Amino acid sequence: MTSRPFTSLPLNARLLANLATLDYHQMTPIQAQSLPHVLQGRDLIAQAKTGSGKTAAFGIGMLHRLNPAWLAVQGLVLCPTRELADQVANEIRRLARGKGNIKVLTLTGGVPARPQAISLEHGAHIVVGTPGRIQDHLARGTLDLSNVRTLVLDEADRMTDMGFYDEIAGIVAACPQPRQTLLFSATYPDDIRRATASFLNDPVEVTVEAQH
């Protein structure tokens, strides 16, 4: 397969310069297949194995649409575990370096909710979290999702396996339309396909097969 550089995408010059400082030059296959659609604002279902660079595939798209001058939760990423949420938040912070002061907040269980609520009061551009804790903050009225423009379901198969479906459906319903919805998963079996179909609007589907 021919490789494609990030510079072939219609990205902001500062974002491109930051990618170069991270030593991200060529897109990985899932990035090359996803990003052109993501940057056009399409909904997307992307299937690729772990370690294929899925975080940047949605993180770059989310940052591209984000208005740094507006301190409101414009992007929401749901992850199955606290560890994955921390990893995703850190990767988005690295990707965001070129874009001014972007606040990325993680909201996961295992730590008290009150300090998270205080951080939310101070404002965030992007929230990364686990469905249970995000649902908690919605119920308490400490998280406002009415300005979300990009919603990401990361590792959707694992989140569904872990029994988070009801929380996810509630959170998706709290995100306004129009919005962009991106679903990333290592596998995409029929039950998850049926369960998530209503979250997405005319999605493009891309799959990167495992290398043999």
Rule CB under 5 A: which residues touch Mg ion? 54
Based on CB atoms, which residue is closest to ligand ADP, 60 or 102?
60
Q: 16 or 186, CB closer to Mg ion?
A: 186
Q: Which residues bind ligand ADP (CB under 6 A)?
A: 24, 27-28, 31, 48, 50-56
Q: Min. distance of Cβ 49 from ligand ADP in angstroms?
A: 7
Shortest Cβ distance from residue 209 to ligand ADP (Å)?
14
* Residue 54 or 137 having the CB closest to Mg ion: 54
Structure-block tokens of residue 172: 């998706």
**187-194 long-range Cβ contacts below 8 angstroms, 24+ apart:** 187/47, 187/157, 188/45, 188/47, 188/156, 188/157, 189/157, 191/160, 192/156, 192/157, 192/160
Strand extents, DSSP E, the chain: 44-47, 75-78, 104-107, 126-129, 150-153, 180-185, 204-207
Those residues with Cβ within 8 angstroms of residue 155's Cβ, 6 or more apart along the chain or in another chain: 79, 80, 84, 184, 185, 186
Handedness of CA 100, 106, 111, 117 (dihedral sign): positive
Using the minimum distance from each CB to ligand ADP, give the nearer residue, 23 or 202.
23
Tokens of 135: 């649902």
Which one, 27 or 200, has the nearer CB to ligand ADP?
A: 27
Report the partner that residue 24 touches, choosing among Mg ion, ligand ADP, none (CB closer than 5 to 8 A by kind).
Answer: ligand ADP
State the CB neighbour count (10 A cutoff) for residue 123.
12
Sheet holding 104-107, edge to edge: 104-107, 126-129, 75-78, 150-153, 180-185, 44-47, 204-207
- Among ligand ADP, Mg ion, none, residue 56 binds (CB under 5-8 Å by kind): ligand ADP
Minimum distance from residue 35 beta carbon to ligand ADP (Å): 10
Residue 2: name its binding partner from Mg ion, ligand ADP, none (Cβ under 5 to 8 Å by kind).
Answer: none
* CB 155 to Mg ion: min, Å: 6
| CB closer to ligand ADP out of 53 and 129 | 53
- Residue 65, classed as helix, strand or coil, is helix
Least distance (Å) from ligand ADP to the CB of residue 33? 13
Q: Which does 108 bind (CB under 5 to 8 A by kind): ligand ADP, Mg ion, none?
A: none
Minimum distance between the CB of residue 28 and Mg ion, rounded to whole angstroms?
Answer: 12
